[in-house]
């Protein structure tokens, strides 16, 4: 979508906007291969976060052994493995957060370092500009700096603040261009839409604290996170160094960031894990930990637990000789051949836009958020939806009647639910059927391409 415009102003975007701005060149560089390219970039960003957490742990005062434990703990966490193996916006803010923390720790531990404070602020502010939940641990760093301004010095605190503002410029700029759409995408959607969707599906219990706490503990247990958190809590009353106070403030902020969105998913641990694992690295350097066999056994267990789900999924794909990424690429190539043979031009509508980014047809901007806005019933008014270039459950049929798509891709959102008994894709399929579109299966077997009737294609080509 960055080929055609900017987030909020020209198409709906449901997060802070740094990632589409930074990744925009890929839309041209990797044209036709954008989906695998984005996944490869995220894998590299995830590995960069692992390298930065090792550096941050060393700057926090951990030994090489302790820093290695922090790096392996992050590398083996299901959160990082998930972030690094999909085309989402979780790996970039995680890298920016760990790099920013490494820069700030050099300021905290070295009275002579001054300019790294500017870099730290820039990176931490940029992390929040990539994903809003990272704003909480970034704010914790700012609060720490204010509380310790005499020790850090006014100059370094000022540079940190200036860097933070610079990191927030992308969000401030684009929010200024389309304030209502930006407020909805960054704040309103995450507050209102998940609650509405779960309530419509009779799953309000997923929003309540008992299950949310269980889900948080479960995701922490998919790696060394739960072990690290318990170990840190056991020493919470002990006297702490300045670095430990900083990390503890960030851990509290990270826990709040992971707790606030409902339901809780593993990717929400991103703002928590960097400070958590660095603090844990400092603990593992203590003599009482080095001498405990059970401590090393628990770390090994956490590493195994973190890799487990990914290993099972990869193993299943190997046994079936199946690559999800290549399946998407093959479908895109087949779709292009069908569209070319039918002489179709225009835009493609789909609730699975990740499966259409590498097709010749551009994506209809009303569907760029995939299923997320189509689920909503009363979160947006009809006028808001159209002002934000989006379509919702209420406006879908009218929007498609006014501007019919050149083709429709379905198959990724067929899961039935109480609010959509035949799946969300059924809404598109029903409209297409009533307007004479015909269905053609794609090679994956999971997706179908819906092509318009011949008279519609002729009219579109004449236009």
Pairwise CA distance, residues 178 & 185, whole Å: 11
Question: Residue 387: is it exposed, middle or buried by C-beta count within 10 angstroms (0-12/13-18/19+)?
Answer: middle
**Residue % of the chain over a pLDDT of 90:** 90
Tokens describing residue 454: 């011949």
In the prediction, which pLDDT does 462 show? 42
Two structure tokens written together for 412: 């990724």
In the block, which residue shows the tokens 């694992």? Answer: 277
> Looking at residue 76, what DSSP letter applies?
H
In terms of Cβ atoms closer than 10 Å to its own Cβ (0-12, 13-18, 19+), residue 390 is buried
CB proximity list for 155: less than 8 A, separation 6 or greater: 114
Beta-bridged to residue 350, according to DSSP, are 409
Q: What is the predicted pLDDT for the residue at 460?
A: 56
Distance from CA of residue 109 to its chain's centroid?
32
Strand partners of residue 48: none
Q: What integer pLDDT is reported at residue 181 of this predicted model?
A: 97
C-alpha triplet 48, 254, 181: angle, nearest 5°: 85
CB 352 within 8 A of CB 409: yes
314 three-state secondary structure? helix
Angstrom distance (rounded) from CA 285 to CA 66 = 6
Q: Two tokens at 320?
A: 């079936």
Q: What would you measure as the largest C-alpha separation in the chain, in angstroms?
A: 79
CA-CA distance, 251 to 274, in Å (whole number)?
Answer: 9
Q: Which uninterrupted H or E stretch holds 57?
A: helix 34-60
What ranges do the domains of the chain cover?
18-318, 324-462
CA–CA separation, 81 vs 212, rounded Å? 22
d(Cα 31, Cα 37) in Å, to the nearest integer?
9
Query: Which residues of the chain fall short of a pLDDT of 50?
Result: 458, 461-462
292's tokens: 């405990």
- Cβ-count burial of 338 within 10 angstroms (0-12 exposed, 13-18 middle, 19+ buried)? middle
**Whole-number pLDDT of residue 195:** 94
Distance between the two ends of the chain, CA-based, in angstroms?
23
82-109: pLDDT as tens digits: 999 998 999 999 999 999 999 999 999 8
């Amino acid at each position: 979508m960055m080929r055609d415009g900017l987030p909020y102003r020209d198409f709906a975007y449901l997060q802070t906007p740094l990632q589409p701005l930074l990744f925009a060149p890929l839309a041209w560089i990797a044209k036709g291969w954008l989906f695998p390219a984005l996944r490869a970039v995220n894998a590299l960003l995830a590995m960069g976060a692992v390298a930065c957490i090792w550096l941050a742990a060393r700057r926090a005062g951990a030994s090489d052994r302790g820093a290695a434990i922090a790096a392996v703990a992050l590398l083996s966490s299901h959160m990082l493995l998930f972030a690094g193996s999909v085309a989402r916006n979780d790996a970039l803010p995680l890298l920016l957060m760990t790099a920013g923390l490494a820069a700030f720790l050099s300021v905290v531990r070295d009275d002579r370092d001054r300019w790294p404070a500017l870099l730290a602020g820039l990176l931490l502010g940029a992390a929040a500009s990539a994903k809003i939940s990272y704003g909480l641990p970034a704010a914790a760093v700012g609060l720490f700096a204010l509380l310790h301004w005499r020790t850090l010095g006014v100059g370094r605190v000022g540079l940190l603040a200036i860097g933070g503002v610079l990191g927030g410029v992308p969000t401030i700029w684009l929010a200024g261009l389309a304030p209502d759409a930006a407020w909805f995408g960054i704040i309103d959607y995450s507050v209102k839409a998940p609650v509405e969707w779960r309530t419509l599906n009779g799953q309000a219990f997923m929003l309540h604290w008992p299950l949310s706490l269980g889900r948080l503990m479960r995701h922490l247990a998919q790696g060394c996170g739960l072990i690290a958190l318990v170990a840190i809590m056991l020493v919470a009353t002990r006297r702490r160094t300045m670095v430990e106070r900083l990390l503890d403030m960030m851990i509290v902020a990270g826990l709040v960031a992971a707790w606030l969105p409902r339901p809780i998913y593993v990717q929400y641990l991103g703002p928590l894990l960097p400070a958590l694992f660095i603090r844990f690295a400092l603990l593992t350097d203590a003599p009482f930990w080095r001498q405990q066999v059970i401590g090393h056994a628990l770390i090994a267990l956490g590493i195994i637990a973190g890799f487990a789900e990914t290993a099972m999924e990869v193993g299943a794909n190997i046994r079936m000789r199946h690559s999800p990424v290549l399946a998407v690429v093959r479908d895109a190539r087949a779709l292009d051949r069908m569209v070319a043979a039918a002489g179709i031009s225009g835009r493609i509508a789909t609730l699975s836009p990740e499966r259409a980014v590498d097709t010749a047809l551009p994506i209809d901007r009303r569907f760029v958020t995939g299923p997320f806005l189509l689920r909503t019933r009363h979160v947006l008014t009809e006028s808001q939806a159209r002002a934000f270039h989006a379509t919702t459950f209420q406006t879908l049929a009218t929007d498609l009647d006014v501007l019919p798509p050149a083709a429709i891709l379905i198959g990724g959102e067929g899961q039935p639910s109480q609010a959509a008994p035949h799946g969300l894709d059924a809404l598109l399929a029903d409209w297409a059927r009533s307007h004479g579109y015909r269905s053609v299966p794609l090679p994956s077997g999971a997706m179908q391409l819906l092509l318009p009737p011949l008279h519609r294609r002729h009219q579109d080509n004449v236009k």
